[in-house]
Amino acid sequence: MEGRPLEEAELVERAKRGDVGAYEELVRKYQDVAVRTAYVVAGSADAQDAAQEAFVKAYMSLARFRSGASFRPWLLRIVANEAINRRRAARRQANLALQATEGRPPEDAAPSPEVATLALEQQRELLDAVNLLRPEDRLVIAYRFFFDLSEAEMAEALGCARGTVKSRLSRALARLRGAAEASPLAASRPGSREEARRD
């Protein structure tokens, strides 16, 4: 029936049969997460182009898409590969940035200036550490915490066994902590480098 949103599986099957309109719906559905994924890896300079390229490559690879599988992680794997390749080719640092409204703690109705300043400082420190990570670690963290992918989706998107997702996430978080220790911002904050906690 026209006018009724089609299920994703139906859209994929139609697209596999050459229905470009069906594929367009998939593109529109996932273009945000595709650009965001590319941004996490390659930064703002290449994010849109990488996502665009990935969508075209995905369309040409649809024959290899396993029917019944989830489209999003399959697509994100292509996006991430494209973004990683572009970042390597560009040989430039791909630092992420905060929005112009940075530092505003979400859901806080009216934080005091002191609280807002502290939240902003913590967020900058965290961002500084994320920016020191290699793309593969950024991806694991982004999939889990930024985009809220399930474990199964992460496994598909990362191209690893489901049982390895937790260990990869754990290693990425450990490297994030290590990066935070090396961060100039963290170093400049007295007492923030480490503290002893007695259990």
Partner 1 sequence: MTERVSSLGPDDVLAEGLRRLGGSLAYPTATPVAFAVMRRLEDARAGRSGAIARTLSFPMRLKRTFPVRSWRTVAAGLAAVLVLLAGLLFVSPSARDAIAGWLGLRGVRITVGSEGPPSPRDLSTLQLGELVTLAEARAAVPYRVLTPAGREPDEVYLSHRFAEGQVTLVYRPRVGLPEVRTTGVGMLLTELRGEVDREQLGKYLRTGGTTIRYLTVNGGQGYWIAGAPHLVYYLDPDGRAVADTVRVSGNVLLWEQGGLTLRLESGLTLSQALLVAESVR
Judge contact between 93 and 45, C-beta under 8 A: no
Tokens read off for 20:
């470009």
Place of tokens 């170093």: 187
Interface with partner 1, residue 76, by CB under 8 A = no
**List of residues 6+ apart from 38 with CB closer than 8 A:** 46, 47, 48, 50, 51, 54, 79, 80, 82, 83
Q: At what angle do helices 113-131 and 162-182 cross, to 10 degrees?
A: 110
Q: Which of 159, 158, 161, 163 is nearest to 147 (CA)?
A: 158
**Residue 29: CB minimum distance to partner 1, A:** 9
113-145 per-residue burial string, b: 16 or more CB within 10 A, e: under 16: eeeeeebeeeebbbbbbbbbbebebbbbbbbbe
Q: Cβ of residue 133: shortest distance to partner 1, in angstroms?
A: 12
**How many residues touch partner 1 (CB under 8 A)?**
66
Cα gap 33→45, rounded to integer Å: 16
- Residue 89 in contact with partner 1, rule: CB under 8 A: no
**Does residue 64 bind partner 1 (CB under 8 A)?**
no
When the beta carbons of 130 and 154 are compared against partner 1, the nearer one is 130
Figure out which of the listed residues 78, 84, 130, 132 binds partner 1, where binding follows CB under 8 A.
130
Pick out residues in 2-61 that bind partner 1 (CB under 8 A). Answer: 2-3, 5, 20-21, 23-24, 27-28, 31-32, 34-36, 39-40, 44, 47-49, 51-53, 55-57, 59-60
Decide if residue 140 touches partner 1 (CB under 8 A): no
Contact positions toward partner 1, by CB under 8 A?
1-3, 5, 20-21, 23-24, 27-28, 31-32, 34-36, 39-40, 44, 47-49, 51-53, 55-57, 59-60, 96-102, 105-106, 122-123, 125-127, 129-130, 141-142, 144-147, 173, 176-177, 180-181, 186, 189, 192-199
